[in-house]
Structure 1
């Protein structure tokens, strides 16, 4: 369902884009056209390949390394064993964890795409280079004053496909997808890799991933493809979805055994205290009687 909804947003006109108007000679939309997306410093093909391939590679390598390190103690297997028909039949723990983490990541990637497309369709926010593509006839529109507001699709004389793309900029899809992938991998590396000697390597790798996502947003603004507000909104969408999935869905990448033990301890804490009847021993009774005779 998530994949189909993302497909309808991307490749069909099922959802109509809001036709937002503009003021005559508005300086916010008079930036030069930066050329097609394929000629960008971070083209869509490169961005989508990195957001889809790097997390898959990192999670597979990370889970394999953790599995090999914990195989001797069998802690990994006990945490992730899934009974199918009996005690002897279960899914390999390495496969189970890898599929679960990658599946959640893929779902979040499509969910981020859907949230971004929904925001772009509803707002219809104009790109910084919108007027360069719209090519409005100011004389026919009667733009004698800069404060005159122009609305309607017929105000533009340029390429309709390019104009429609220039109406879908808020939030920035490139910023949202890049920061979602970086945040998901950052939390995975921080919570999963516990090997010695990684105290400095982990923060360097995580900060490097977040820096690449931040530079992607800066590139969108520098090339006049998005406003600052578009990039910031994309960052917020990507970070929110990544944090929600990691914290609430995969429980910070912890195993099943840790979750079950936590639930068991909570149930024990909620159980009422049972009062056990007290039975007096003969020695205690004789001690009390002797004390009373002395007093």
Structure 2
């Protein structure tokens, strides 16, 4: 009876997880399909909006696929190794059969990462549509013509205008500069990876290998943000805000949602000579 109740709770947990993810994903999809960004005006003398249009170096699809594949591969490798070393949670009974502990741990980690990624993207995109900041290539894409005699333009701040060249999709995109979703997701992925490897990824073969990989991933996220400025897709402040949002969501998601545990007795080479430089909420688990 107890085993049956445990199985039922596990199934309900999976179902509820899917429902929660859907509740975050649907508003994000709705923003992209039906929402209209705020129509912000411009000053004719604003040179920050007169950069030429360039094709972006890293597409949104490419970044999303690379980020998820990277995290999934990292989690699976670490959990399989930990399970073989006897540091996992042991097998779980689910759907009439035993499921290896590393599968359940991987499901938790990947599911939490996905939830955090969807949450930070919803936060970023909601801000984009509410603020409606114009991208640096606004003049090149829109080639705006102020509406003569409109009282909204009386003080020199042009709010009533028409775009001569932009198609509807590009006209919508040119209003979604702040904050940078690319930078937010890249930093979220990097910080989540750094924390995950710091807590669960141990190897006695090298003292600096783990930290070298962490630094390389951080630099990759940094490059994503720099490329958005270089490609004239964002102002530097858009990228800075995206970095802060992504890093903040990664820290909160890892510490307070994932709540990683260390199972099994640590090997002698895992005993730290001094406390790890991580938030206390992580270390006490």
Whether the TM-score (by the shorter chain) exceeds 0.5 is yes
**In 2, distance between residues paired with 1:149 and 1:193?**
55
Q: Is the 8 A contact 2:57 2:227 kept in 1?
A: yes
Pairwise CA RMSD: 2.5
* Structure 1 position 69 matched with structure 2 position 85: yes
User: Partner residue of 1:254?
Assistant: 261
Q: Which runs of 5+ in 1 are unaligned?
A: 259-295
Q: CA deviation at 1:5?
A: 1.6
* Residues 1:245 and 1:209: Cα distance change in structure 2 (over 3 Å): same
1:155 to 141, 162, 172: 162
Q: CA deviation at 1:113?
A: 1.3
Between Structure 1 and Structure 2, whose CA radius of gyration is higher?
Answer: 1
User: Partner residue of 1:54?
Assistant: 70
Q: Is the 8 A contact 2:49 2:136 kept in 1?
A: yes
Q: Render the CA deviation track for 1:106-155: whole Å, top value 9, x for unaligned.
A: 1111112101110101110110011111212359579xx9x711003x43
Q: How many residues align?
A: 239
* Residues 1:237 and 1:141: Cα distance change in structure 2 (over 3 Å): farther
* Structure 1 position 7 matched with structure 2 position 29: yes
TM, length-normalised to structure 2: 0.77
**In 2, distance between residues paired with 1:198 and 1:101?**
25
Q: Is the 8 A contact 1:141 1:155 kept in 2?
A: no
Q: CA deviation at 1:169?
A: 1.1
**In 2, distance between residues paired with 1:34 and 1:186?**
32
User: Partner residue of 1:204?
Assistant: 212
The 3-state SS of whatever aligns with 1:61 is: helix
Q: CA deviation at 1:53?
A: 0.7
Q: Which runs of 5+ in 2 are unaligned?
A: 1-22, 266-285
**In 2, distance between residues paired with 1:191 and 1:255?**
8
